[in-house]
Amino acid sequence: MKRVENNLNIMSWNVKGLNNPIKKNKILSFIKSKKCDIAFVQETHLLPQDSQTLCVGWVGYVGAASGTSKSRGVATLIGKHLQFKCIQKSKDDAGRMMLMLCEVQGKAVILANVYAPNVDDPSFFGQLEKKISDMGDYPIIMGGDFNEVMDPVLDRSSRSVYASRAHRALKGLTEASIKETGLHDLMQLILGIS
């Protein structure tokens, strides 16, 4: 696969725990095999001192927000082949979001890794929006597990049209972000849905 300059290969993956060394090595090897430049990993289940164990092999930098050894946690893995400089970090205490203002290949960008609660908590998306806003006016690359769907009819097998408060908050965040920053739901772009 020929890489085009300035294009990044980015992956987002809920791994449901990285405490098992064999599983951790298999996941890191798989990400490497996909020639990933940046990987947003959710539900790491790693404590703060354990998150840096992800900085091996192809990984040159790890930005992590830790939960407990049994839940939560996000890690943003940066390939060591990239020109990368972290300027500012912002995370929450629950291990559900890690935002980094950084220079990637000489361009300033916000990398946002999110693992939203799986309960109806609209305040989480308000907190996320504030943290993004506090970082400044830069392009945003966001990945993660939002534990919500953008279109309940399209994205769920049951045709329930119930929209939780968290869903409405996420949709409001996305609609505002589209206008202000050009943030888009990747699947909607791939499928040509607006």
120 is in an annotated binding site: no
Q: Give the HSE-up count for residue 140: Cα atoms under 13 Å, Cβ half-sphere.
A: 25
How many of the other CB atoms lie within 10 Å of CB of 75? 26
In 3D space, the residue among 61, 127, 130 whose CA is nearest the CA of residue 93 turns out to be 127
CA distance 79 to 11: 12
CA distance 166 to 173: 10
CA distance 71 to 17: 8
Residues 6+ apart with CB under 8 A from 74: 40, 41, 42, 43, 44, 64, 65, 95, 96, 97, 98, 113, 114, 115, 144
14 is in an annotated binding site: yes
In 3D space, the residue among 35, 36, 45, 38 whose CA is nearest the CA of residue 15 turns out to be 45
Element (H, E) at 32: helix 21-33
Annotated binding residues for Mg(2+), as ranges? 14, 43, 145, 147
Annotated binding residues, as ranges? 14, 43, 145, 147
